[in-house]
Structures are given as structure tokens and as C-alpha cells.
Amino acid sequence: MPKSKRQRTVHLTRTDKGGRPAKDKLITAIRDAAESFKYIHVLAVENMRNVALKDVRSEWANSRFFFGKTKVMALALGTDAAAEVLPDVHVLANKLSGQVGLLFTSRPVEEVVEFFKSYTVPDFARAGNIARETVTVPEGPVVRGAENDPFPHNMEPQLRKLGMPTILKKGIVSLVRNYTICTKGKALTSEQAQLLKLFYHQQADFRMHLLAYYDVDASKVEDMSHEFPRAAAIAAGEAPDAGSDVEDGDDMEL
């Protein structure tokens, strides 16, 4: 394994002010991981969900995940040849932008690819996501789910507030006319996203795409666009349904 250069000084004045202890901790943890694992992967996350991410962590308990400020993570690895902690790892560090994180692991690349290609967790879409299908609720009693469960009468005001033309008929929540919650191909509003959740319609999937990886022994970065063609668009936020429940700038180490 190449000799580490992790003792080089990193100047945090190049990042946003505030949270210096957290940045120092993240940098130290990333540098320690760089010395402990054979591969460093950059992951582009589609529809980030904390719960799903914790489940992935359980599946990869012998590896390390980092999600934080991308500038800080890049500085931890080194953004140029003079500052990098491992030979040529700055090539990987410069791919850290957008909705991405780092995976440090010693598992074979083939195993990593196989896992993340097949790992999908359905979830509810958020405002701004693109509707995958048109959802229309017919006139009459309002029901939801595979069992056609009726809505509780005390939810009628909430449905009406979200835009549905509902009334109570003998204690039963009813629509006075057909109502389209969303139209396929159009961006969801916050009201539409809430309605889809109330009606149990999941139109989003949590996925993790490999953008690139660094082989520590070979001191080489490999692009993974041939295996994950949407990774770059997801990372750049150009994919229409790549929503997140993690605010920009949140520091997460998993």
C-alpha cells in the first residue's frame, strides 16, 4: 500500500466559517479511513433518506460511509498533488460535489457494484419530484390503499385544505367530483406530495449510484459511468426525481 501523506496541513480558511471542530473531526475520520481500506468510492445518492441510509450502513458494517460538506471531504483527501493523502487521490477528491458521499471499504469492486445496482428502497415523493404516474380519485366515498380503507371523518378538513373538493356525507368523507392528485411527467407541489403520502402512493426510490472509485494499491481512479450512467446527473441535481430529506450542508458520518 502506498505511503500515506495524511500529515500534511489543511487550511480550513478555504471553507465556510463556523463549525471548525466538526470539520476537524470529519477530516481526521476520513484520513484514518483512507489508511484502513483498499477502496474509496464516491456515491451519488438519489432521493436521500436517512432511514434507508442507516439500513445500508447495517449491510456494510465493516465499511465506513461519510456524508458531509463536500468541500471539507475533498480537502480531507486533498484537492491537488501537493495536498493529497494518497498518490493521485486528488482526482477522486475533485469529483466531490453535489449530492454525494464517500464509501471506504475493502470489499471487491464487483461486490460493491452488484449490491448498489440492485439496492432500491421505495418511498414517498417530495415536492419538486416528477410524478411517475397520473393519480385520479373518483367521485364518491374516498378510500385508499389496496384494501380500499375509508378515510377517517376527522381528516376531511385536511384533505379539503390540500385542495380536494371533499364533503362529509353521513360521516363519510366523499368527493363531489373526480379529482386528479398529480399528472405523470409534471413536478409535484407540496400539497400533491402530501396527498400522495396520505393515499399510500410511493413514487420515489432511494438509490445509491457509484460515480467513481480509487484503488489504494494501484493508486488509480476508475470512472463508473459505464455501470451507473445516471450517477453524474444525480450528483449534479439534474435528475428530476433526486429529492432528499437531508438539508444541504448537513454533516453526516455513518
With 90 as the cut, is the pLDDT of residue 72 above it? yes
For residue 55, give the CATH number of its domain.
Answer: 3.30.70.1730
- Judgement on whether residues 51 and 164 belong to the same structural domain of the protein: no
What share of the chain in percent tops pLDDT 70? Answer: 86
- Judgement on whether residues 115 and 236 belong to the same structural domain of the protein: yes
- Judgement on whether residues 27 and 141 belong to the same structural domain of the protein: no
Last residue of a domain, one of 198, 221, 239: 198
Average pLDDT, integer, range 230-234: 93
For residue 140, give the CATH number of its domain.
Answer: 3.90.105.20
Residue 6 is assigned to a structural domain of this protein = no
Q: What is the per-residue pLDDT for 248?
A: 37
- Judgement on whether residues 71 and 32 belong to the same structural domain of the protein: yes
Residue 7 is assigned to a structural domain of this protein = no
Last residue of a domain, one of 157, 178, 198: 198
- Judgement on whether residues 209 and 193 belong to the same structural domain of the protein: no
- Judgement on whether residues 43 and 74 belong to the same structural domain of the protein: yes
- Judgement on whether residues 209 and 101 belong to the same structural domain of the protein: yes
Count: domains in the chain: 2
pTM of model > 0.75: yes
- Judgement on whether residues 214 and 104 belong to the same structural domain of the protein: yes
Last residue of a domain, one of 198, 216, 237: 198
Instruction: State pLDDT tens for residues 85-112.
Output: 999 999 999 999 988 999 999 999 999 9
Residue 1 is assigned to a structural domain of this protein = no
What share of the chain in percent tops pLDDT 90? Answer: 78
Q: What is the per-residue pLDDT for 254?
A: 34
With 60 as the cut, is the pLDDT of residue 245 above it? no
- Judgement on whether residues 173 and 152 belong to the same structural domain of the protein: yes
Instruction: State pLDDT tens for residues 163-218.
Output: 999 999 999 999 999 999 999 999 999 999 999 999 999 999 999 999 999 999 99
Q: What is the per-residue pLDDT for 252?
A: 41
Q: What is the per-residue pLDDT for 6?
A: 55
- Judgement on whether residues 112 and 165 belong to the same structural domain of the protein: no
**Secondary structure (DSSP) of the chain:** -PPP-TTS---GGGS-SS-HHHHHHHHHHHHHHHTT-SEEEEEEEESB-HHHHHHHHHHTTTSEEEES-HHHHHHHH-SSTTT-SSTTTHHHHTT--SSEEEEEE-S-HHHHHHHHHH--EEE---TTPBPSS-EEE-SEE-EETTTTEEPPGGGHHHHHHTT--EEEETTEEEESS-EEEE-TTSBPPHHHHHHHHHTT---EEEEEEEEEEEETTTTEEEE-TTT-TTHHHHHTT-STT--BSS-TT--EE-
Domain extent for 98:
12-124+205-253
- Judgement on whether residues 182 and 215 belong to the same structural domain of the protein: no
- Judgement on whether residues 61 and 173 belong to the same structural domain of the protein: no
